[in-house]
Amino acid sequence: MKVLFISSEVVPFAKTGGLADVSGSLPVWLKQHNNDVCVITPLYRTTMKCFRQDLKRIDTFDIGIGDNVYNGEIWQGRLKSSVPVFFIRCDTFFDRDRLYGNDMGDFTDNAERFIFFCRSVFVCCLKTGFLPDILHCNDWQTGLVPAYLKTLYSGNDFSSTATVFTVHNIAYQGIFEQKKFSLTGIPDAFFTPDGLEYWGDMCLLKAGFIYADVINTVSKKYSKEIQTPELGFGMEGVLASRKGKLFGILNGVDYEAWDPLHDTLIAAQYSKKSIRRKHLCKEALVHDVKLPDIRIDKPLIGCISRLADQKGFDLLNDIFEELMDLDIGFVLLGTGDLRYHDVFKALGNKYDKQVRIILAYDNVLAHKIEAGCDMFLMPSRYEPCGLNQIYSLRYGTIPIVRATGGLDDTIVHYDKETQQGTGFKFHHYSAAALLQAVKEAVEMYNIPEKWKMLVQNAMSCDFSWEKSAQQYVALYKRALEHKRG
């Protein structure tokens, strides 16, 4: 099967979140299992800066958007030496420090940027001769691709091509004012409540939902949650109309990158058979972040996250003093809303003997936190899938999570009587429920024989791409059946 995987970010070339991790690992698995797979993504400044020597320009093209014509280039590289990656270069749109916005908010021309990218997908297919069976689109930045396949590119070259649209986070929708619609080149007849129109504006996420042959999201629980008013973010009605085409497939993880037995970024490699060596990673982390040595023998909780309301940081702020009273250490790595930057910098200063706040993106430190902490905190209000809780399981770093989306699908609450389970979950979105879950985890930490069993349970879990990718292949076949009747 020929698959073109379309994503606005791909590890290791560019990343803001979990979409990039999936885009950098799922295509590799598909390729290794006898599928003809290519990836296409924008060529950002950071990609050109870090990977220029691995890329080559293979063609040029022009695309008109409104009254302007933009020059584009197709560059090519490879993902893990196996999967071809097409990069769309247009410095007007992608030669910027960040992918989607700056400290002032989203870039004001994001509509033009991703109209250009979606159009470029078809140009790239025609110029390279890679005419796929499946266009696998991801999130709002690619939402116009299924719409273009039904309109501007519905001709012979793509007459047998089907589309799969994966939503990784329904809260991000690509909504733009009506006047931007004319820039797409799509006929006005498609700007209706049954098409791209959304309360008078244009919505690119909705375009993906409406025009794709099948839709999926990144966990079974989240596929149900987004059909409710609470977590549908206004799209629950649209999804209700496509309910028979909506599926949930849990993300897999790349254990080549995230496995303590082979991780060269941590102080000591270990497995569940050599779990004592994990303590060396804890010692190293405590020293790296300059916490007092006493924290080596106390519970240490890690958190790696975008700092936003979605991630439960309002709850964490409300109970931070009570958490400190438990005599725990806490290491937070991430960036996000500036108000949370201020909140946690202040907390870090107040509790400087227990807390370290690192407001940055640091992949090496992320690995050290996963290996060096005893517990990992994810108190999300909603979480489509989540990857860090799965990484944490492999590292024997016990997840404390809210039972939502992929967090609920991947973590089994620990039962101290049966000693079954892999972490600690709380259901009600409240500071009190979060505090109780942390207290349960600390209680178990202080019973070494039970904690060791819990860590062994966690490290025995397997969330590799094998099962999930097979489900994607089945989804591709379903999309083709729908397309071809």
What pLDDT does 361 receive? 87
Cα separation, 400 vs 422, in Å, equals 10
Name the stretches of the chain with pLDDT < 70: none
250-288 residues labelled b (16+ CB within 10 A) or e (exposed)? bbbbbbebbbbeebeebbbbbebeeeebbbbbbbbbbeb
Contact 423/414 with Cβ under 8 angstroms? yes
Q: What is residue 103's predicted lDDT score, i.e. its pLDDT?
A: 81
Tell me, yes or no, if the two domains 2-252+465-484 and 272-459 fold the same way: yes
Q: For residue range 68-93, what is the model confidence (pLDDT) as tens digits?
A: 999 999 999 999 878 999 999 999 99
User: Residue 485: its pLDDT value, please?
Assistant: 74
* Rg of the chain (C-alpha set): 23
For residue range 331-370, list pLDDT tens digits in order: 999 998 999 999 999 999 999 999 999 999 899 999 999 9
Q: What is the pLDDT of residue 484?
A: 82
Amino acid at 273: K
> Is residue 173 a contact partner of residue 201, using CB atoms and an 8 Å limit?
no
- pTM here is 0.94
Domain layout of the chain by residue ranges: 2-252+465-484, 272-459
Is residue 293 within 8 A of residue 285, CB to CB? The reply is no
As assigned by CATH, the class of the 2-252+465-484 domain is: alpha beta
* Gap between the Cα atoms of 448 and 456, Å rounded: 12
Backbone phi, psi, residue 451, to 5°: -65, -40
Helix axes 431-445 and 448-459, enclosed angle (nearest 10): 110
- pLDDT above 70 covers what percent of the chain? 100
Helix (H, G, I), strand (E, B) or coil at 15: coil
Give domain 272-459's CATH superfamily: Glycogen Phosphorylase B; (3.40.50.2000)
